[in-house]
Amino acid sequence: MKAHVTAHKDYTVSRIDDRLYGAFLEHLGRAVYTGIYEPGHPTADENGFRGDVLELVRALNVPVVRYPGGNFVSAYNWEDGIGPREDRPVRLDLAWHTSETNEVGIHEFADWCQAAGTEMMLAVNLGSRGLDAARNFLEYCNHPGGSYWSDLRAKNGRREPWDVKLWCLGNEMDGPWQVGHKDAHEYGKLAAETAKAMRAFDKSLELVVCGSSHSDMPTYPEWERVVLEHTYEVVDHVSLHMYFRNPEKNTANYLALNHKLDRYIGTVASAINYVKGKKRSKRDVYISFDEWNVWYHSNKKDRAILDGGNGWPLAPGLLEDIYNFEDVLQVGCILNTFIRRSDVVKIGCIAQLVNVIAPIMTERGGPAWRQTIYYPYYFASIHGRGTALNLLVDCPGYDSDHDDNVPYVDVSGVHNEEEGTLTFFLVNRHGTEAIDVEVRLQGFAGGTVIDHQVMTHTDLEAVNTTANQQNVRPHSGSGARVADGALAASLPAYSYQMIRVRL
């Protein structure tokens, strides 16, 4: 099978916001406790942060981490996580039916972000709380000093403000499962008033308002219209979430799901434009896709804890999906979609970062290792920065439950002018046929392949484990070359590839 792709230097989508490659870390399961934080672990530093995890996170060059939830934030008192550790209360976490010791709070998370080389994206609780708790939290984090909350921060050991610019106005407020769930009008009004108060403190904040939890929600996309009509002039991004699943083991349908994702983004972009037009507004609002990943492998196992059958355990294993090779292809397709829609999607957060539906897994007292999906996320984060190209793709396709004529090759391209490189991320969705791809490079002078990484496996269900951490990993590819103004490569059946060209 053959595929023809055209890349033209001037035919671009957008400059990619580096924050497209962000991540999410929630007080959930073992994400925080025994994930990033485990005092006594052989690699732990003086703050109790696991050095092995920090190393894997630093390698990803994660630009931003959303915290502390997720569903958790909707019943969270941020004040529980400040002050002397011995005075911090143990609380029942209603979202995940567990106990929260509050050993890690905003100070510890900020220290961890500094060690990891990333920025904070904080969420305020608009479920069980509201505007008042949000404005106090903001003052605690960002005011230099001389006020009640900023002086308390200094007393708790941090004189300099953190000056966090990116804030989420609650989490998934459209979801009936959310503590303090609201309808679109109730939430829209609360979000607008909270945003107004936060902006009264600092006009330069970037605020993210809750959109839909997923595109099958009965309130979608009316939710976006109503919420934006309340908030358009005071927010910068609409938050969207989507999780991908394949319980039926139908690979063709599974790998077409990014077409549903693409439609979701397009529909919400239309809702944004509709409200912009209706309000005769000059400002732009973008999409923050701040929860996305594969999530289904652990569903059955988690039921007992979530139903309360185990009482209120401390940091139990929850949402510990073990990813397989098929999920590599899925994550490659998802990231390609974000790159192709980087004109409207400015922030993306893989959900989550450690242990909980995560690219990085740990064992209590033991090693940390890379799940299969670590790699496509790694390649996109490291090499997917620059300008997204608007590629013309001519490739045979197949019909799926989510779309017809889904091309067998899913591809995105990024031009990094500073580095003088072109990077292509390609997935072959065909299960039995290799595909010869030719990418015509128009408007670019010359080029040499400088890096070619391939992921294939004989078993779609192959996973990495503590005992076999290298089972699914990239290998250097061969055969990709640039000649006569075109890049040529062969994609084996069910494969992921990254090809980089120096111009």
When the beta carbons of 217 and 488 are compared against ligand AHR, the nearer one is 217
For residue 343, give Cα distances in angstroms to 63, 288, 307, 340, 387.
18, 12, 41, 8, 10
* Least Cβ distance, residue 351 to ligand AHR (angstroms): 4
Question: Which 91-150 residues touch ligand AHR, going by CB under 6 A?
Answer: none
When the beta carbons of 69 and 386 are compared against ligand AHR, the nearer one is 69
Q: How wide is the angle at C-alpha 435 spanned by C-alphas 385 and 15, nearest 5°?
A: 15
When the beta carbons of 54 and 353 are compared against ligand AHR, the nearer one is 353
Q: Find the binder of ligand AHR among 150, 171, 336, 497 (CB under 6 A).
A: 171
- Euclidean distance between CA atoms 155 and 145, whole angstroms: 11
Block residue for tokens 């919420």: 227
Report whether 44 contacts 32 (CB < 8 A).
Answer: no
Please indicate whether residue 172 is annotated as part of the active site.
Answer: yes
Q: Which amino acid is at 135?
A: R
Residue 173's nearest CA partner among 139, 133, 135, 217 is 217
When the beta carbons of 71 and 372 are compared against ligand AHR, the nearer one is 71
* Least Cβ distance, residue 401 to ligand AHR (angstroms): 23
Residue 348's nearest CA partner among 208, 253, 233 is 208
- Could you write out the DSSP letters of every residue in 236-276? SEEEEEEEE--TT--HHHHTTHHHHHHHHHHHHHHHHHHHH
* Least Cβ distance, residue 415 to ligand AHR (angstroms): 33
* Least Cβ distance, residue 96 to ligand AHR (angstroms): 8
* Least Cβ distance, residue 299 to ligand AHR (angstroms): 12
Marked catalytic residue, from 291, 326, 433, 461:
291
When the beta carbons of 218 and 277 are compared against ligand AHR, the nearer one is 218
> Can you read off the two tokens belonging to residue 281?
């507004």
Please report whether residue 172 would count as binding ligand AHR according to CB under 6 A: yes
Question: Which 360-399 residues touch ligand AHR, going by CB under 6 A?
Answer: none
* Least Cβ distance, residue 211 to ligand AHR (angstroms): 12
Q: Find the binder of ligand AHR among 18, 22, 23, 26 (CB under 6 A).
A: 26
Helix (H) or strand (E) holding 387: strand 387-389
Please report whether residue 351 would count as binding ligand AHR according to CB under 6 A: yes
- Euclidean distance between CA atoms 462 and 322, whole angstroms: 10
When the beta carbons of 189 and 214 are compared against ligand AHR, the nearer one is 214
Length of the chain: 503
Report whether 386 contacts 16 (CB < 8 A).
Answer: yes
* Least Cβ distance, residue 214 to ligand AHR (angstroms): 8
* Least Cβ distance, residue 124 to ligand AHR (angstroms): 14
Please report whether residue 174 would count as binding ligand AHR according to CB under 6 A: no
How many amino acids of this chain bind ligand AHR (CB under 6 A)? 11
Q: For 442-472, b where at least 16 C-beta lie within 10 A, e where not — what string? A: eebeebebebbbbbbbeebeebbeeeeeeeb
Report whether 448 contacts 374 (CB < 8 A).
Answer: no
When the beta carbons of 94 and 493 are compared against ligand AHR, the nearer one is 94
Angle between helix 325-340 and helix 257-278 axes, rounded to 10 deg: 30
Marked catalytic residue, from 38, 108, 119, 172:
172
Report whether 208 contacts 167 (CB < 8 A).
Answer: yes
How many other CB atoms are there within 10 angstroms of residue 133's CB atom?
18
CB neighbour list of residue 255: distance below 8 Å, 6 or more residues apart: 326, 329, 330, 333, 406, 410, 427, 429
Question: Which 244-303 residues touch ligand AHR, going by CB under 6 A?
Answer: 291
Q: Pattern of binders to ligand AHR over 57-96, x per CB under 6 A?
A: ------------xxx-------------------------
When the beta carbons of 352 and 412 are compared against ligand AHR, the nearer one is 352
Residue with the CB atom nearest ligand AHR in the bound state: 70
Residue numbers annotated as active site = 172, 291
Interacting residue ranges for ligand AHR, rule: CB under 6 A: 26, 69-71, 171-172, 213, 241, 291, 351-352
